[in-house]
Amino acid sequence: MSSQNGFLVVGSTGQLGTALCAQLGARAIPAARRPPSEATVVLDLEQLAAEPSLAAEIVAATKPAAVICAAGATDVERCETDQAWAAAANHLGPLALARAAKDVPFVFLSTDYVFDGEAGPYAEDEAPHALSVYGQTKLDGELAILREHPNALVLRTTTVYGPDPQKKNFLYTLTRVLNAGNTMRCPTDQLATPTHVDDLATATLKLLEQGATGLVHVAGPQFLSRYEFAQIACEILGLPTDTLQSLTTPELAQKAARPLLGGLKIDKLNALIGPGVMRAPEQGIRDWKATLA
Ligand SMILES: NC(=O)C1=CN([C@@H]2O[C@H](COP(=O)(O)OP(=O)(O)OC[C@H]3O[C@@H](n4cnc5c(N)ncnc54)[C@H](OP(=O)(O)O)[C@@H]3O)[C@@H](O)[C@H]2O)C=CC1
Ligand SMILES: Cc1cn([C@H]2C[C@H](O)[C@@H](COP(=O)(O)OP(=O)(O)O[C@H]3O[C@@H](C)C(=O)[C@@H](O)[C@H]3O)O2)c(=O)[nH]c1=O
């Protein structure tokens, strides 16, 4: 495999990776731990964490013009009990790749879960304080990559929704659960700024084109609770709401603590790429609906 000007998209089988590859077209060099075809580079972040020299081999073989690390341990609950996995996929693996790709721009995807949720939505200059293993390992990744890569761009996002090849984001879960007549329990006290995956991909590529570096928040423009997000989705999608139940986070009894007032401010993003790129949930859910068969 050899390519002079492509962007290495790590996590090409994921939600964001798929959107990035679609927007990049022939400029994408997809990379995944379980490649769906021979055209995809084999890249396992856990393996890179254990054997960092493999990262240099992949970079030498693919010669990317930039690297976007859109992969990671995204199962927030599993991270609590499998900390070695979380550290490898969210911190040490991406760091090995960043070290090997020092000569080209490197993008690392992070999260609002680096914050404790006492005062969201958050701007880039606010102090992080992670509550969960997922959030802490992402924060460890951010700090190490920003320290070691001269042109690193760290993008924090939150509650990504829209087309998802693995059909596991919140909207797919909500639709599946409610259509099956089961109860969907949604917290009224977990607030964030839901982000349409295509906008996240667009913003990522615009920032890369501009040569942006450092920390930038990329998220939707509206701050709302999971329950409100679910209500908007139900209305647009015509889902039954008799089994949509509101509750508080303690009642939900999740393993990993979530930031309650999470979410991200996007003034810096808007100043860099112009306003209007990030769509509001109502529009985003309508657009997602239109993609369903
Ligand atoms: N989804 C969200 O709400 C948010 C996401 N983020 C961050 O944005 C990024 C993209 O998220 P999203 O696309 O939604 O996530 P997904 O869960 O949809 O995709 C994650 C990707 O990471 C890959 N992956 C997991 N472990 C490894 C590994 N060891 N080596 C290589 N690849 C691996 C998965 O591969 P496979 O298909 O084989 O499982 C998949 O392609 C992630 O870094 C995530 O932490 C940040 C905030 C919110
Ligand atoms: C299963 C279930 C979840 N939920 C809620 C609780 C919680 O807020 C959320 C859990 O689903 P999610 O997987 O979307 O949420 P979670 O894994 O917490 O979402 C996070 O993903 C990671 C990758 C991030 O980085 C975060 O920014 C955030 O988007 O959904 C319900 O309300 N009812 C349910 O029945």
ipTM of this complex: 0.95
| pLDDT tens track for 126-163 | 999 999 999 999 999 999 999 999 999 999 999 999 99
Which domains occur in the chain, in start order? 7-225+254-292 (3.40.50.720)
- Which pLDDT score is estimated for 4? 62
| pLDDT tens track for 6-59 | 999 999 999 999 999 999 999 999 999 999 998 899 999 999 999 999 999 999
- Which pLDDT score is estimated for 1? 44
The CB of 89 under 6 Å from ligand 1? The reply is yes
d(Cα 263, Cα 261) in Å, to the nearest integer? 7
When pLDDT is averaged across residues 180-203 and rounded to a whole number, the result is: 98
Query: Which of 16, 74, 76, 169 for mutating ligand 2's site (highest number of atoms within 8 Å of CB)?
Result: 76
Tell me how long the chain is: 293
- Which pLDDT score is estimated for 23? 98
- Which pLDDT score is estimated for 212? 98
Q: Side chain identity at 244, as an amino acid letter?
A: L
Q: Which residue owns the Cα nearest ligand 1 atom 29? A: 45
Cα-based distances in Å from 43 to 51, 173, 254: 12, 28, 31
d(Cα 104, Cα 121) in Å, to the nearest integer? 31
- Supply the pTM of this predicted model: 0.97
The CB of 16 under 6 Å from ligand 1? The reply is yes
* SS3 at position 33: coil
d(Cα 173, Cα 43) in Å, to the nearest integer? 28
| pLDDT tens track for 251-273 | 999 999 999 999 999 999 999 99
Strand partners, 66: 7
Return contacts of 125-132, CB within 8 angstroms, 24+ apart.
Answer: 131/256, 131/257, 131/258, 131/259, 132/76, 132/79, 132/80, 132/256, 132/257, 132/258
- Which pLDDT score is estimated for 2? 44
